[in-house]
A and B are shown apart, each in its own frame.
Chain A
Amino acid sequence: MPLAWSVQGEPIRIGLTPVFLDDQTSFVEDWRAYLERRLGRPVAFSQRSSYRDIMDLLLQGKLDFAWVCGYPYARYESELRLAAVPVYQGQPLYRAYLIVPSGDTATRSLADLRNKLFAYSDADSNSGYLVVQYQLLGMETRSGEFFRRTFFTGAHRKVVEAVAAGVADGGTVDGYVWDVLNEFHPELTSRTRVVSRSETYGFPPLVARRGVDDRIMREVQGALLSMDRDAEGVALLKRLSLDGFTQGSSSLFDGIRRMMAAVRGSSGAAQP
């Protein structure tokens, strides 16, 4: 079927952030073409630099779908619908890694990084922010007092770079991102050392705004969930080192909800 016939009508708008999918323009373009063919209608990807921007667009109805972190999903759950959860190493789960420069052989846990420089990826990221915030609760302190200085890099990959270059003494990073980097860019990850791996959390999901058309929701879900069944889809998934997508359930993100509640409860003035 010629492509031109298939891309008629209102486009489906999907939001992405570099927090997690970093600088993969060609992949995004290929994925878009794949989805257009599968859905038989135009697909438009919007990329924004932070989860906050993407969530704003989604909540304002300017996007239909977005690939976001479990943390914003848990926060805005009432206005969102879970579309699909990626399957990584057979499970829709991932971990957060605490990393330090490879030259630092002394650090055994987060507690050893007191009064050090620390890198987060995004304030709306689970693995890149919330996990550490939750751990700091256990030490009865907040990041502003525990660390000497913290900063956001806006992407998991850049947390790895900041720690590798020594700009930060430690950082928290999406374990999936670190693993993928370790596979394709070992020269970068080799300059860092993973101090600890967190428990598992629900993998950053694809969500839809609550008002999205049911038919479109079903079509998109169908296209995503069956990606692992055709060669082109498998090739695209392989580029992301993912096994596929699954329906997933809201309960996958219970761990995140628990941490979110704990952090909110403690600080009063909650992080955004």
Chain B
Amino acid sequence: MLHNLSFRYKVPVRSSILILVTAVFVTVSLMYRAYDDMRRDLLFNAEGMSRVLVRTLVPAILHDDVWQVYEVIQSAYPAAGADTTLASELIMVLDAAGNTYVANQPKRFPMLSDPALGGPEFALLKRAALQHQEETPAVVDLDLAEYLYLVMPIVSDRVRLGSLVLGFPRSLFLPRFLTIAKRAAWMTLLSLAVLLPITWYWAGRMARPMIQLADCMARLGTTTPEHMRCDLYESQDEIGRLGLSFRRMLAELQEKHALERQIVVADRLGAIGRLTSSIAHEINNPLGGMLNAIDTFKRHGNCEDERTHRTMSLLERGLLQIRDTVAALLVEAKAGSHTLKPVDIEDIHTLVAPEAAKKSARIEWHNELRMPIDLPATPVRQTLINLLLNAVHAVEENGLVRCRVWARDGRLHMQIINDGRHIPADKIEHLFEPFSPLSETGHGLGLWVCYQIVQQLGGDIQVHSEPGSTVFTVVLRYGENE
């Protein structure tokens, strides 16, 4: 379940688990430490107690005064035995044979009885007590035993009279453990109360850039790269770098996408161009024959008849119109032309000026060309005229058209800018097709012709339109490849 959770929650949950685990470990080690300390303190006191007891018990045991022995061991821990429901210290005096001489819990360990009857734990204890020979207290710590034991032999003049056994119930440790556990629980809650908001805040900060990135990447599947606008976190850390890479990838994707579209458009225009030129050629051949036939007929034929003459003229005008149209479609950029000179560009300014004046449009003219350029003048002029006339038509009354022509690095640049209505993105794709529906005046072949010329000159024509500014840019290479 945690697996699919957002980082927003995963991080606080994990840090809470970490805090809990740490608390448990610390508590356990504290308990262990407390147990160790208690055991040491207890045994230290018990050793002193057992030495005193043994000294006191020797004369009583020598006189076989069992009641005095009982009173002595009873006074060592007065609370013991009074309330048998509570765990209390066990003190036993064993005789030399290991049987109970007397114990402070006489009902459980009656005089003369075998302590082993009290359970397996006491059988082991009895053996340990009998085996212990030195006159020093020894700890008997049996696994899973009810008590922790200290045994010490009772010796008088090198004769062993018996053994003293002090037993401390392990359940005495329990309240201390509970106190520690309770304190640890409170500390854990306190640290959770302090740390949880902090980790919550951190997790939020950490997760936000990842969430942004993840959302952005998820949108990539449904949105085209061109329209992606991603608000990403900027930093040098891993997520920042990831964001940067993603943005770079997105940019490359967008570029690739644009290029693909351009190729599609160019392919389509290329196909249309080939189609139109072959149709034009197919039409031109019979058309020339038909015009020749009409000419011959008019000259040598029987043309006195008024109706025949009118019909022939009608046919001739129709055919001539077809020829003009076909000629317009058949763009021949390299038809013998002189080299482009700066003055050719200036001529165009002069030619277009009256058109602009009709709409009171202003033309900003920047001709930076200073030397002749190795490009055929006629097609370049035709392209520039077409683009300028289009621009003048596009602007409103008192609009502005800017034209800049310059050459650099073996390329001629022509840029025509107008502030008229902008061309919507979906129309731009079909802008250079013949009989463009966008053309309100004319037959819609102007841009088609421009495109064909630029293609044939091995150049590039681009359009960029946004409200208030539509830019046509033509770049033509010259010199080295001609």
Task: List residues of A whose CB falls within 8 A of some B CB.
Answer: 103, 117, 119, 148-149, 151-154, 158, 162, 165-167, 169
Q: How far is the CA of A158 from the CA of B107 in the complex (A)?
A: 17
Residue of B nearest to A121 (CB): B67
- The answer, yes or no, to whether B61 is at the interface (CB within 8 Å) is no
Q: How far is the CA of A103 from the CA of B84 in the complex (A)?
A: 14
A149-B66, A165-B107 given. 19 additional CB < 8 A pairs?
A117-B110, A117-B112, A148-B112, A149-B111, A151-B64, A151-B66, A151-B67, A152-B65, A152-B67, A158-B67, A165-B70, A165-B74, A165-B106, A166-B106, A166-B107, A167-B67, A167-B102, A167-B106, A169-B110
Residue of B nearest to A152 (CB): B67
Which of B67, B107, B110, B111 contacts A154 (CB under 8 A)?
B67
21 examples of A-B residue contacts, CB within 8 angstroms = A103-B107, A117-B110, A117-B111, A117-B112, A119-B67, A148-B111, A149-B112, A151-B64, A151-B65, A152-B65, A152-B67, A154-B67, A158-B67, A165-B70, A165-B74, A166-B107, A167-B66, A167-B67, A167-B70, A167-B102, A167-B111
- The answer, yes or no, to whether B81 is at the interface (CB within 8 Å) is yes
Contacts of A158 in B (CB 8 A): 67, 71
Residue of A nearest to B64 (CB): A151
CB distance from A185 to the nearest CB of B (A): 14
Which of A148, A151, A165, A169 contacts B81 (CB under 8 A)?
A165
CB distance from B117 to the nearest CB of A (A): 15
Q: Given that A148-B112, A149-B112, A151-B65 are known contacts, is A162 also in contact with B70, CB under 8 Å in the complex?
A: yes
> 1/0 per residue B297-319: CB within 8 Å of A?
00000000000000000000000
Q: How far is the CA of A154 from the CA of B107 in the complex (A)?
A: 22
Ordered nearest first, which 10 A-B pairs have the shortest CB separation? Answer: A166-B107, A167-B106, A166-B106, A151-B66, A153-B67, A151-B67, A117-B111, A167-B70, A165-B106, A149-B111
Q: How far is the CA of A119 from the CA of B65 in the complex (A)?
A: 11
* Majority secondary structure, B binding face: loop
Q: How far is the CA of A152 from the CA of B184 in the complex (A)?
A: 54
Contacts of A151 in B (CB 8 A): 64-67
**Counting chain A CB atoms within 10 Å of each CB, which of B65, B107, B111, B112 scores highest?**
B111
Contacts of B110 in A (CB 8 A): 117, 166, 169
In the complex, chain B residues 108-122 whose Cβ is within 8 Å of any chain A Cβ = 110-112
Contacts of B112 in A (CB 8 A): 117, 148-149
Q: How far is the CA of A148 from the CA of B71 in the complex (A)?
A: 21
CB distance from A149 to the nearest CB of B (A): 6
Q: How far is the CA of A154 from the CA of B71 in the complex (A)?
A: 12
Residue of A nearest to B66 (CB): A151
Q: How far is the CA of A169 from the CA of B112 in the complex (A)?
A: 13
Contacts of B65 in A (CB 8 A): 151-152
Q: How far is the CA of A154 from the CA of B74 in the complex (A)?
A: 16
Contacts of A119 in B (CB 8 A): 67
CB distance from A184 to the nearest CB of B (A): 18
Contacts of B111 in A (CB 8 A): 117, 148-149, 167
Q: How far is the CA of A165 from the CA of B66 in the complex (A)?
A: 14
Q: How far is the CA of A148 from the CA of B112 in the complex (A)?
A: 9
In the complex, chain B residues 67-106 whose Cβ is within 8 Å of any chain A Cβ = 67, 70-71, 74, 81, 102, 106
Contacts of A148 in B (CB 8 A): 111-112
Q: How far is the CA of A169 from the CA of B106 in the complex (A)?
A: 10
Q: How far is the CA of A149 from the CA of B111 in the complex (A)?
A: 8
Q: How far is the CA of A119 from the CA of B71 in the complex (A)?
A: 14
CB distance from B112 to the nearest CB of A (A): 6
CB distance from A18 to the nearest CB of B (A): 13
Residue of A nearest to B74 (CB): A165
CB distance from B178 to the nearest CB of A (A): 31
Contacts of B67 in A (CB 8 A): 119, 151-154, 158, 162, 167
CB distance from A117 to the nearest CB of B (A): 5
Contacts of B70 in A (CB 8 A): 162, 165, 167
Residue of B nearest to A167 (CB): B106
Contacts of A103 in B (CB 8 A): 107
Q: How far is the CA of A190 from the CA of B67 in the complex (A)?
A: 21
Q: How far is the CA of A216 from the CA of B102 in the complex (A)?
A: 48
CB distance from B240 to the nearest CB of A (A): 81
Q: How far is the CA of A117 from the CA of B99 in the complex (A)?
A: 15
Q: How far is the CA of A208 from the CA of B64 in the complex (A)?
A: 33
Contacts of B66 in A (CB 8 A): 149, 151, 167
**Counting chain B CB atoms within 10 Å of each CB, which of A149, A167, A169 scores highest?**
A167
Q: How far is the CA of A167 from the CA of B107 in the complex (A)?
A: 7
Contacts of B64 in A (CB 8 A): 151
CB distance from B35 to the nearest CB of A (A): 32
Residue of A nearest to B69 (CB): A151
CB distance from B220 to the nearest CB of A (A): 88
CB distance from B70 to the nearest CB of A (A): 5
CB distance from A84 to the nearest CB of B (A): 31
Q: How far is the CA of A65 from the CA of B102 in the complex (A)?
A: 38
Q: How far is the CA of A154 from the CA of B111 in the complex (A)?
A: 19
> 1/0 per residue B184-198: CB within 8 Å of A?
000000000000000
Q: How far is the CA of A152 from the CA of B63 in the complex (A)?
A: 11
Contacts of B71 in A (CB 8 A): 158
